[in-house]
Amino acid sequence: MGMTITEKILAAHAGLDRVEPGQLINAKVDVALANDITGPLAIQEFEKLGLDRVYDREKVVLVPDHFVPNKDIKSAEQAKILKDFARKQELVNYFEVGRMGIEHCLLPEAGLVLPGDLVIGADSHTCTYGALGAFATGVGSTDMAAAMATGEVWFKVPETIKFVYHGELPPWVGGKDLILHTIGDIGVDGARYMAMEFTGEAIDRLPMDGRFTMANMAIEAGGKNGIVAPDDTTVQYVSSRAGRPYQVYKSDPDARYARVIEYDASKLEPQVSFPHLPENARPISQVGDVAIDQVVIGSCTNGRIDDLRQAAGILQGKKVHQHVRLIVIPGTQAIYLQAIKEGLVETFIQAGGVVSTPTCGPCLGGYMGILAKGERCVATTNRNFVGRMGHPGSEVYLAGPAVAAASAIMGRIAGPREVA
């Protein structure tokens, strides 16, 4: 019996010839990541161990991105804990404001995560890096502390669900729509503690930015990780970024799966997930008349350059509805700069939107777009739980950048065909 790509990566990092679902293993970590919310607690627990040094100053990565630029005294103190620890430990990969980005956009861009890696992060959306063919998953701050000390972490090997997306994607349908449709089908616990392996012709044609989006939201189905086997698209992305060797893994033809779920992607419409769960997905044709107050385009899910290009293409020459706030947040400084060079930022501003420096900001109800009671927001973010973006009486509707941009123009949830 063969192994899945997830099982192969875990076996290699555990020093084993093979692993089986349910098996408990200790595995070596290639990258251990924390941010300004989770990092301070991990640092506190690390210091309780009485150790002078982290296991590898190149592999522990700290990215302040949730409440930065610092929004208040508490967030400033959190960020300072990261900076002081990075100085003390002489960490190679600490990213200060001005050089940072939203962590899950930044690490692939910087070449810090590569195919075949095992990555943990004290943030649930660490599963984003599975788009590169890495095993990546979120952990708690105490597990992060242990990994900073030892370079290892324990896992229960997950079962794998194989998702096969057949056909060619229709216009305006991308990775966000595929993953929202999938979560709508299996539910927010449909892949609980399982690997979600994304395959099929539609995935083969999907650019890296769309793959990052899909892997990013595996956790919203309860997944342990999301993963796409590396191909020419992956290699082209990492070839100019990789500063070290990497290993490409692929599932064996006779690998064992808990389930195989197939979709005809050619029949999909742009998707919208209604409050208050990502599983409440509907095709745009079934949304109805939903007036909105705010649109957010950005986050670790859809803050990449392809997302901004798509949104700007719809907004070009048009105006944001007079009753709507449009907030655009590029995922990294490099993405921001590219958007300036391509005229995308000018398009957003001329349309009546605002453009922010990279930050997680409103996604988690941090700042830069908090909702008041009764307000509704269309967001390209990953969660729409009660109170996620502000008041418990507000509502968040999840969508891709095309729907978000069209909605900003129309003042209600709308599809891109309405404004094209």
Q: Cβ neighbours of residue 172 under 8 Å, at least 6 residues apart?
A: 270, 400, 402, 403, 415, 416, 417
Domain identity same for 116 and 179: yes
- Report how many domains make up the chain: 2
Domain identity same for 334 and 368: yes
Domain identity same for 239 and 209: yes
Domain of residue 294, CATH code:
3.30.499.10
Q: What is the per-residue pLDDT for 420?
A: 79
Q: What is the per-residue pLDDT for 1?
A: 82
Domain identity same for 152 and 131: yes
Domain identity same for 68 and 36: yes
Which of 225, 242, 263 is the last residue in one of the domains? 263
CA distances from 264 to 174, 181, 273, 408 (A): 13, 11, 19, 29
The HSE-up count of residue 330 (CA atoms within 13 Å, CB side) is: 21
Which of 204, 231, 263 is the last residue in one of the domains? 263
Report residues of the chain scoring pLDDT below 70: none
Can you give the three-state secondary structure of 22-67, one letter per residue? CCEEEEECCEEEEECCCHHHHHHHHHHCCCCCCCCCCCEEEECCCC
pTM value is 0.94
